[in-house]
Amino acid sequence: SRTAVDVHGHVAEVRMTRPDKHNALDFAMFESLNEALLRLRDERGVRVVVLHGEGPSFCSGLDFPSFLAEGRPIDEMLAKHEGGPANLAQQVSYGWQTLPMPVIAAVHGNCIGGGAQIALGADVRIVHPDARISIRETAWGLIPDMGITRSLPRLVRFDIAKELVLTARFVSGAEAADIGLATRLDADPLSAARALAQEIAALSPDATRRAKALLERGWNVSAEESLALE
């Protein structure tokens, strides 16, 4: 498996385990991230998830050579997954938003392309000041299609979202915090994410799950609908 899931008390850590490739996304990584999501959906004792990458980077994005070498049909990636609205490529980003418990991403090193979209799917991002983040797809002749429409416009001004996508430029962790991509900065993002997870895990799990669900479902609906949800 490309992903390890370790549960300590009420906190689950999901760790991408392809450090020699900066956790680049091959088909096995997509599958193992989705398996982690499916497992956590039913983990009643888990109150918080910490998502991070082993080695020098969070995730360096799509591993093009691996996909070409494997020869897997592209429709495996693009078919709707598990009866939900997302395909497999989108699910590994959007799926964190649909988990019942809060998800904290600890971001360091390279966080590029699909890796950036995975991080954007988390509820909170704690980022190293020197991290390198890029919504890189247009530089490769692609569009960002891993749930970007469900994450980026919530976090930054719409014109900034467009600029980041259309230029595919790199931003540092420090700039990411300035524009809203990062929740906050820390020189040791994993330790900070673990500390925040313990803080949240000490609260009522019913309250935190229902508060997340309220904010997810209440975003971008009418006042009548969101106030009724409250």
Taking the mean position of all CA atoms in its chain, how far away is CA 5? Answer: 15
Q: How many residues does the chain have?
A: 230
Look-up of token digits 């096995």: 28
Rounded Cα distance between 155 and 178, Å, is 11
Catalytic site residue 70? no
Rounded Cα distance between 129 and 176, Å, is 9
Q: Which of 13, 31, 137, 163 is catalytic?
A: 137
The C-alpha angle 71, 91, 38, rounded to 5 degrees, equals 105
The strand pairing partners of 53, in sequence order, are 16
Buried b (16+ CB within 10 A) or exposed e, 8-24: eebbbbbbbebeebbbb
Whether the Cβ atoms of residue 173 and residue 133 lie closer than 8 Å to each other: yes
Rounded Cα distance between 105 and 16, Å, is 12
Ramachandran angles phi, psi of 103, nearest 5°: -125, 125
Per-residue tokens: 207 = 């309250």
- Catalytic residue ranges: 137
